[in-house]
Structure 1
């Protein structure tokens, strides 16, 4: 059955879905509420190279064309001044916006419009909500959980303050500050924090290390996981990506989980009920991660009570070490958990 499909939102999930559907039998149109000259990519450009290489192969792209920095070590500073390095094998930065634009370059995209649900339902057989945090076309969540984030792209004329990735988790795991290198003289610096100290932390780093701000971005990021983001679909509308909670709460990472969600959707796009079950299964451990992080943030954390979830998280990340692009050590997780 040939379908008329509207993909709403040209971020990571929407653009990748457009590229994956490009040679299908379906008639697909993408919508992006921002004008084309203001279409941008929010949040830092960090991902895992081998995983993105496989996704890009599916749509005949070479991820190396977009690679900026290949990480070797992540420098970590805890709030109790404990410092340590995590070995990296795949964590990188890439030109996220350029890849998004490349995914959609040969497709029909309508920019600068945000049509109503009624308008879309009258024209299309299926509406895919890839609007991220805003979840424009799906029912509102009964209970959401998110972090505000703030970020600068900074130019350093006199050398970068760090040669590789650098993070500072905030007390109680309420968020973290990040520094992501972008080549020889640029970096993304920013933070997300439940207690809203993210702007101060970012500005303090800028004052300490200098640099010229060339771009400023801010947005909330949803940490509520898929099990808390029901419904995934209603009538003709179905959610893919962050609109249904595909962010790994411990890291605030959404690029790979959103692209994985696209693949799950494509396997089940003719059966929304099956899609929901597949999403629930794939992201099952995300609920444990969310409970662990939320308990820390709300100061309702008991390590022994949370030990089963902690061990489940460690086993999951250790088993999928290549997917996370870093050495997963229980001692490092313990340092974060006890901070």
Structure 2
């Protein structure tokens, strides 16, 4: 089969690596950014417990990419109140180098974002892994997204604001500020806020803690879950994988692992789009419940009597998947962070 993979982020790089291993496939990747500007835009925190296996699928050792092994994460709730969450595998890692190593030896055409009608005559399948842009699929109506900004910064030795992961929760769970250590004085700081106040808080943090700004990036993140991002195909040759079909966990805004999982589901079901759709909807079923919870909180419509059972289901899901999320999950912490 002749396969085009458009968008070489987490999902696209994984697909290039795995699909190119099958000599029955002719796989070509397309990335709109030039090769010398290619970057891993979103935050570089993930769970080593899961990523180790996914990297191994690509013939790589995830330990080689870990920059900081988290032990605890402070969630600042304001008014001198906070939650200290014990971490169990959450790390920051060199995301760009992992992507680059995944695509080594594959055919990538950088600096190109071809139109769908340019690709259709030459390819049997066009994989849309363009993330938020969803360039090759029908538009999603009434979707929800959150604007984000992130800086890579460097602090003088001993001048780092925190020695481990730090989050500041915004009111009504509209978003949060993050500080992720990258080792050797480097860190990612950034924020996303549905109310669009994220830039103000990041600017205050940059003014408070002196640092050298290495890079600034910004992008929106889709929170709409897969069940609300259909169709996953255009009914012809294009099919979505990753964030283009909503594989971001809405409570955390985290898409690295879910998008890679989605890429693996596509590989297993690439000859049966109905089976692929069903596998995606089943795998990410809980995301719809989490999305509803976030919408209610932001709108100020969450009521414990009416919606408490939904929150209990979310807690039970995360508690049973502590190894996947890389943190200890406690109901008391969830209630506190949710301001309930």
- Bin of the TM-score, shorter chain as denominator length: over 0.9
Structure 2 residue 191 is matched with structure 1 residue 156: no
Compute the RMSD of aligned alpha carbons.
Answer: 0.9
Per-residue deviation, 1:212: 1.1
- The question of 1:224 aligning with 2:224 is answered yes
Cα deviation, residue 80, structure 1: 4.0
> Where in structure 2 are there 5+ consecutive unaligned residues?
none
Show the counterpart of 1:122: 121
Distance 1:86 1:217 in 2: 28
1:131 match:
130
Q: Which deviations, in whole Å up to 9, do the C-alpha atoms of 1:310-339 show, x marking residues without a partner?
A: 011001001110000000000000002226
Q: Deviations over 1:212-256 (max 9, x none)?
A: 111001000000000110100121010000000000000000000
Listed as ranges, the gaps of 5+ residues in structure 1 are: none
Query: After superposition, what is the alpha-carbon deviation per residue over 1:271-329, rounded to whole angstroms, capped at 9, x for unaligned?
Result: 11111111111100000000001111111211221111101100100111000000000
Do the aligned residues in 2 keep the contact of 1:150 with 1:192 (CA within 8 Å)?
yes
Separation in 1, partners of 2:9, 2:304: 37
TM-score, reference length from structure 2? 0.98
State the secondary structure of the residue aligned to 2:75.
strand
- Distance between the aligned counterparts of 1:72 and 1:332, measured in 2? 17
Matched with 2:8 is: 10
State the number of aligned residues.
337
- 3-state SS of the aligned residue for 2:301? coil
Say which SS state the counterpart of residue 121 (structure 2) adopts: helix
State the alpha-carbon separation in 1 of the partners of residues 304 and 232 from structure 2.
33
Tell me which residue corresponds to 2:318: 317
Q: Secondary structure of 1:78's partner?
A: strand
Matched, 1:22 2:15: no
Query: In 2, Cα distance between the equivalents of 1:106 and 1:191?
Result: 35
Q: Whole-Å Cα distance in 1 between the matches of residues 277 and 4 of structure 2?
A: 19
Matches within 5 A, 1:97-112: 97-112=96-111
Counterpart residue number, 1:241: 242
Q: Indicate if the aligned counterparts of 1:79 and 1:171 stay in contact, CA closer than 8 A.
A: no
Q: Distance in 2 between matches of 1:248 and 1:306?
A: 19
Residue 277 of structure 1 corresponds to 278
**Deviating 4+ runs (over 3 angstroms):** none
In structure 2, the residue matched to 1:297 is: 298
